[in-house]
Structure 1
Amino acid sequence: MATKQQFSSFADLLTGSDLPVLVDFYAEWCGPCRLMAQTFAQIAPQVKGRVKLVKINTEAYPQLAAQYQVQALPTLVVFRDGAVMARVEGALSGDQILQWLQTQGL
């Protein structure tokens, strides 16, 4: 299960992580995004210790959505050492996310 955490900045969250960070950019009004919340909860035990899962509400943080050129929801972005490593748009099943992460070497 995900827990809410506070960070002084998104950059601190990314650079302060020893693990790659998988960010789900979403909005509350987005139906497929709500499905992704369930999917994140399902895959969390399988990626624990390999990838950190983070959800960013684009309505609350529009500047992050603009900075990372999020044009469709949901958008998943993998960051490593603060830099974008990979991205995919649209809702995915848990198996699809795990397979996608595997193709990224994670």
Structure 2
Amino acid sequence: ELEAARVVTTAIVNGEPQTAVELVEGVNRHRFGEGLEPVEQLWLAGQINTHLAELKGVQDVDYGSLPPPEPPKIINDDSSSSSSSLTSSTTGEQYDSDAWR
């Protein structure tokens, strides 16, 4: 059963957030609409949530009951340095991306 739609940040590339519409279905998440503008994503999520609320016979979707979104991936494309460092969006720890190669 679909619970709700929301706009989530999937990645931060060179400081710019990349967003998508995410449908929450229990523990499953379905993402789409990455190529849409944020205002279009918000509109689409709102339309889906309005329809879901009507089907469930409630006023609004209970966003507090949704699982938290996954943290976005941080991607820095800085070609001026030979090794790049990534920072975890959840812990703030720095990781050397060369160590993962």
With the length of structure 2 as denominator, give the TM-score of the two structures: 0.31
**Which structure has the highest helix share of the two?**
1
Which structure has more relative contact order (CA 8 Å, sep 6+)? It is 1
**Which structure has the highest strand share of the two?**
2
